[in-house]
Amino acid sequence: MRWSRYFWHTSKEDPADAEAPSHRLLLKGGFIKQVSAGVYELTPPGVRVLRKVEQVVRKEMDRSGAQEVLLTVLNPGELWKETGRWDLYGRELFTLKDRNGREYCLGPTHEEEITDLVRSYVSSYRQLPLLLYQIQVKFRDEKRPRFGLIRGREFIMKDAYSFDQDELSALLSYENMKFAYERIFKKLRISTLMVEASVGAIGGVSSHEFVTLTPYGEARVAHCPNCGYAGNAEVVKLPRAQEREEEPKPLTEVETPGTDTIEKLSSFLGVSADRIVKAVLYLVEGTEPVMFLIRGDRTVDESKVEAVLKTENFRLAEDREVWELLRTRKGFIGPFNLPPSVKLYWDNSTYGLKNVVIAFNRPDYHYINANPGRDYQQERFVDVCQVEEGDPCPKCGAPLKIDRGLELGHIFLLGTRYSEPMKALYRDPEGRERPIFMGCYGIGISRCISAVVEQYHDEKGIKWPTPVAPFELDLICVNPTDPQQKEVADRLYLLAQQTGIETIYDDRDESPGFKFADADLCGFPYRLVVGKKVKEGKVELQDRHRGERTDLDIDTALEHLKTLIEKDKS
RNA sequence: CGGGGUGUAGCUCAGGUGGCAGAGCGUUGGCUUUGGGAGCCAAAGGUCGCAGGUUCAAGUCCUGCCACCCCGACCA
């Protein structure tokens, strides 16, 4: 490709609206162009990268026995009503009507459609197992799109679905996908962690996320440097604390005016936060009050609350509701003299505490030296505590590390969540009708492009790994008005194409510095500079990853380069 | 959905107290230059986010709306 004729436009200025390195560099490097919030166009070089990522994924999916389909973007509303998700999915669903008033949505994921497809052809155990996938654009009306391709409202995803007779067989499909995913991320050169993930309200059997560690991720990932365990922070179990050895002191009421936060209370009384018991009041379905007691230095993880309450329909009580229910204010809520309607849960962190500070629903007062058994009864211990750095690993007990992670892949054993309501049934060998056991497996393709850039860049630009680079080689002619340089560069360009090296030939009438800067920004793994040294029969090879420059003989340069590229791709 | 910020040339931005719409980069034409985003000369390029209001006069002040970015909440 001759750059002078190629639709590729980089920018000298940093884009104003981009924070994350991947967002900034993809915009500046002219790979993507924003259309609206979370909606991006890909330019020709952007598409080249996308296709390469897709090809890696496609190859590994095919290898693991999956068959490619192409489902539709436009999904009829009826299918979504069959599973109840038309309403459950909420405002994240882009919906529209056709001229006759029929309802559709733009597919945010395709369980309904794939289940509909499979149920119309599969009716016997002889047709199972089955593994189908597609690479398709998805639409989600995200509350907050951000960081370029990292979280878009329109994005490309690979989604696969497995169909099995029973859970055991489905587990094999699941393991098969797990291995495929490990191969895929290895080939994309993205380092990922496989973490245990939430099975969510649907009640799946097993779920894992493949995350890459970056500050621009949305997930908190807990991982153990000692044993290698990794989990999404919201699923990492925290056990009960050690019982403290202390003599109980007499219970005392103390006036604590205006101490409506743990910090204020802690400094007012001169008591550390881990000796305070904090009460948090939630309303389930907007009406049922539920109180969680947790140690003062910890915070409630609402994903864990969701798991305890088995619903996502809950929220913190408002000031007015706290007053109406308990005749107190926030900061002075406690587990004493509660109306019978209030359900009480104790977080594991409150186990074994002695001589604690705790509120008793009287504004501006706290108890000090309260003790379990004597002053309050603890029943119903649960784990709703947000995991923090240093908490014990659930596998080996060593201190955990916490980092932010970007979810690139998610594999999920669904069970019969879709097959049952949608009547995707098959007959087993005994002739009984049974629901198909399903799994689903996603990879955010667009997001992977960002993840690669996050992992491979410097202050000058992107450093594409060869397997996903838009071009493997950037051929630069320093001075095209020098006939000898031009002749050598033209010849090398033709030869590179014959050798099967994906080459962009920077034949633009620009200054050398301009071309070098673009080369750094656009991130080609290799650059061949045709300049002054042609007089000595040499061209210069520059390696973007290692930063090395080597002079090569004109005649053997491409052979040498071909070897390097093949090595990178293997 | 709550909080904060921004909106002026293709891009990055400047335009106290209201008074002729600006710069750098990019673009076009010309000359020079050729190993790290070149130099000189000339030119084109604007619904100052949109609508309304105050005023002799609004990019600037007021009201409403919209878009985009960031933080939080949310997140198969």
Q: Residue A176, SS3? A: helix
Nucleotide nearest to A514 (CA to C1'): B37
Nucleotide nearest to A508 (CA to C1'): B34
Using a 7 Å CB cutoff, list residues 463-492 of A near strand B.
478-482
Q: Which helix (H) or strand (E) element contains residue A324?
A: helix A319-326
Give nearest nucleotide to A35 (CA–C1').
B68
What is the per-residue pLDDT across A534-551, written as a single tens digit (0 to 9) for each?
999 999 999 999 999 999
Any atom of strand B under 7 A from CB of A37?
Answer: yes
Beta carbon of A378 within 7 Å of strand B? no
Residue A10: nearest nucleotide (C-alpha to C1'): B11
Q: In whole numbers, what is the pLDDT of chain A averaged over residues?
A: 92
Q: Are A72 and A117 in contact (CB under 8 A)?
A: no
Mean pLDDT of A277-304: 88
Q: Using the CA of A108, which nucleotide's C1' is the nearest one?
A: B76
> DSSP strand E in A146-258: where?
154-164, 193-196, 207-213, 219-223, 230-232, 252-255
Please indicate, yes or no, whether residues A104 and A30 belong to a single structural domain of this protein. Answer: yes
Q: Please count the other Cβ atoms lying within 10 Å of the Cβ belonging to residue A78.
A: 13
Give A476-499 as a 3 state SS string.
EECCCCCHHHHHHHHHHHHHHHHH
Mean pLDDT of A106-112: 94
- Of A446, A459, A508, the C-alpha closest to A32 is A446
Task: State mean pLDDT over A496-507.
Answer: 96
- A324 CB contact with strand B at below 7 Å: no
pLDDT of residue A200: 60
A85: CB within 7 A of chain B nucleic strand: no
Q: Is residue A1 part of a domain?
A: no
Helices (H), A166-225: 167-187
pLDDT at A48 over 90: yes
Token reading at A536: 């000595």
Q: Which domain holds residue A547?
A: 471-569
Angle, nearest 10°, between helix axes A21-28 and A445-455? 100
Would you say the C-beta of A169 is within 7 Å of strand B? no
Using the CA of A207, give the nucleotide whose C1' is nearest. Answer: B76
**CA-to-C1' span, A182 to B37 (A):** 40
Q: A353 with A413, same domain?
A: no
Bond before A15 cis per omega within 30 degrees: no
pLDDT at site A462: 97
Long-range own/partner contacts, residues A305-310 (CB < 8 A, 24 or more apart): A305/A384, A306/A201, A307/A198, A308/A345, A308/A382, A308/A384, A309/A282, A309/A284, A310/A201
Task: Please indicate, yes or no, whether residues A493 and A533 belong to a single structural domain of this protein.
Answer: yes
Assess if residue A466 is contained within a domain.
Answer: no
**CB proximity A417–strand B (7 Å threshold):** yes
Same domain, A223 and A259: no
Q: Does residue A245 fall inside a structural domain?
A: no
Residue A346 belongs to domain with CATH number: 3.90.960.10
Q: In this model, does residue A55 exceed pLDDT 90?
A: yes
ipTM: 0.93
Task: Determine the distance between A15 (CA) and B16 (C1') in angstroms.
Answer: 29
Per residue in A376-415, pLDDT tens?
A: 989 889 999 999 889 999 999 999 999 999 999 999 999 9
CB atoms near residue A63 (< 10 Å) = 10
Pairing of strands A356-359, A276-284: parallel
Task: Judge if A321 and A413 occupy the same domain.
Answer: no
Same domain, A494 and A550: yes
Q: What's residue A302's pLDDT?
A: 84
Total tally of structural domains belonging to chain A: 3
Question: What is the per-residue pLDDT across A115-152, written as a single tens digit (0 to 9) for each?
Answer: 999 999 999 999 999 999 999 999 999 888 989 999 99
Q: How far is the CA of A33 from the C1' of B70 (A)?
A: 20
Among all strands, which nt has the closest C1' to A151 (CA)? Answer: B75
> Please, which pLDDT band fits residue A263 given cuts at 50, 70 and 90?
confident
8 Å CB contact between A500 and A566: no
Residue A497, CA distances (Å) to A8, A482, A489, A538 in order: 20, 23, 12, 20
Same domain membership, residue A554 and residue A432: no
Q: Does residue A202 fall inside a structural domain?
A: yes
Is A321 inside a domain boundary? Answer: yes
Which of A382, A410, A439 lies at the terminal end of a domain, its last residue? A382
Any idea what the CATH number is for the domain that residue A553 is in?
3.40.50.800
| Last residue in a domain, options A351, A382, A413 | A382
Q: Do A366 and A483 reside in the same domain of the chain?
A: no
* Tokens (6 digits) for A113: 């459609």
What's the pLDDT at A439?
95
Amino acid at A434: R
Specify whether A92 is located in the same domain as A162: yes
Residue A512 contacts strand B, CB under 7 A = yes
Is the shortest CB-to-strand distance from A21 to strand B under 7 Å? no
Q: Answer yes or no: do A89 and A168 share one domain.
A: yes
Residues A122 and A214 reside in one and the same domain: yes
The verdict on residue A459 lying in a domain is no
The nt closest to A198 (CA vs C1′) is: B76
Residue A3, domain member (yes or no): no
CATH code of the domain covering residue A105: 3.30.930.10
Q: What pLDDT shows up at residue A351?
A: 92
> Do residues A371 and A377 touch, judged by C-beta distance below 8 A?
no
pLDDT at residue A496, as a whole number: 97
pLDDT, position A203? 52
A324 vs A446, residue with greater confidence? A446
Q: Is the CB of A434 under 7 A from strand B?
A: no
My answer on whether A211 and A300 are in the same domain is no
Q: Is residue A460 part of a domain?
A: no
Protein residue closest via CA to C1' of B11: A13
* Nucleic strand B near CB of residue A12 (< 7 Å): yes
Closest nucleotide (C1' vs CA) to A515 is B37
Residue A533's pLDDT is what?
A: 95
* A36/B49 CA-to-C1' distance in Å: 14
pLDDT above 90 covers a percentage of chain A that reads: 75
What pLDDT sits at residue A204? Answer: 63
